[in-house]
Amino acid sequence: MKLRLMLWLLGLMLKRALRRKARFRELLGEMRGLDWGIATEDLSIARHYRMSPGGIRAGQGLPVDLDLELRFVDEATALRVLKTPTQQAFLDGMMAGTVRLVGDSGDLKKLQRLLKHL
């Protein structure tokens, strides 16, 4: 339940940052958008975010056309990594096999640059 709430709040925070933070808007404009999602491996908890300079939409589930997916072994692992979303935390999780990145690692770096401005 905590992870579902956290991912829902993340959507609100992204929308708020788009409205209030000029640097966030500027970076998103340079990227021309990013579609990404977070889920557990069994897809019991999944949420996606479609971000563009025109707006941010969030929804349940993981569509197949996302640029980037972050998959976690379980809810506890997801909470631990997402509470401190550093590059090292993701790398440690990938090396341990508890975090799986589906997509381009360059998109992960772009996402981390954006999330700094929340």
Antiparallel, parallel or unpaired: β 68-72 and 34-40: parallel
* Crossing angle (nearest 10°) for helices 2-20 and 22-31: 100
Alpha helices in 1-118 (DSSP H): 2-20, 22-31, 75-83, 87-96, 105-115
Q: What's the pLDDT score for residue 85?
A: 75
CATH code for position 36 = 3.30.1050.10
Q: What's the pLDDT score for residue 104?
A: 87
What domain count does the chain have? Answer: 1
Cα(76)–Cα(62) distance, rounded to whole angstroms?
A: 19
Q: What is the tens place of the pLDDT at every residue in 41-91?
A: 999 999 999 999 999 999 999 999 999 999 999 999 999 988 887 778 888
Q: What's the pLDDT score for residue 117?
A: 86
Q: What's the pLDDT score for residue 58?
A: 96
Evaluate if residue 106 carries a pLDDT over 80: yes
Q: What is the tens place of the pLDDT at every residue in 10-49?
A: 999 999 999 999 999 999 999 888 999 999 999 999 999 9
> 92 lies in which domain range?
2-115
Degrees (nearest 5) of the Cα angle 108, 33, 13?
75
The SS3 of residue 106 is helix
**pTM of structure:** 0.89
